[in-house]
Amino acid sequence: MTVAPEVTGDIRGAEPHNSSIPSDRPVEFWPTAAIRSALENDDMAVWQRIVVAIKRDPFGRTARQVEEVLETSAPYGVSRAMAEVLVRTREHLEANERGEVARHVHLLLERSGLGEQEFASRIGVPVDQFTAYLQGTVSPSASLMIRMGRLSERFAKMRQQRQ
């Protein structure tokens, strides 16, 4: 069996016990029936391959297939673990995305040359809400990001003209 480089370790060379599980193809290309079969199977190596695919793309095709299987099937041994993998992986991704947005908000603030209070006031949000954006605990809406970008650009140009 050929396993993608990122799916190595404990499962190298592992063959699924169920012949309906395509061992030679990456999990991301398996049909939902194969995912269902794999989850009903007692093969830890196959479960690990599914987990790796979910971690690689928490909202991708494999994650959606696992969700569908978990919603439409009676609970079985690995169900709770796979549901937990989905939840935790997505939470981790969302936390990283909020952090990325927070870094962008910091850049906009710095580029504007304004203080936090003034910037928050000019975009129309309370200071504590703006602080939450900077800390990455909450992400601003897309329209608010555009407003921040425009404010930052306007004040950066004004500072540049003065110099």
pLDDT digits (tens, 9 = 90+) for 17-41: 455 677 788 999 999 999 998 888 8
pLDDT for the residue numbered 13? 39
Are residues 99 and 66 located together in one domain of the fold? no
Are residues 104 and 61 located together in one domain of the fold? no
pLDDT one-digit tens code per residue, 69-128: 999 877 677 888 999 999 999 999 999 999 999 999 999 999 999 999 999 999 999 999
Tokens encoding 131: 């602080």
Are residues 30 and 73 located together in one domain of the fold? yes
Are residues 116 and 149 located together in one domain of the fold? yes
Residue 96, class by beta-carbon neighbours within 10 Å (0-12 exposed, 13-18 middle, 19+ buried)? exposed
The residue range of the domain holding 41 is 5-77
Are residues 116 and 73 located together in one domain of the fold? no
Which of 77, 109, 128 finishes a domain? Answer: 77
> Which CATH number covers residue 145?
1.10.260
Does residue 15 form part of some domain?
yes
What single string gives the DSSP state of each residue in 3-28? Answer: --GGG-STTTT---SSTTS-TTS-GG
Q: State how many domains the chain has.
A: 2
pTM value is: 0.74
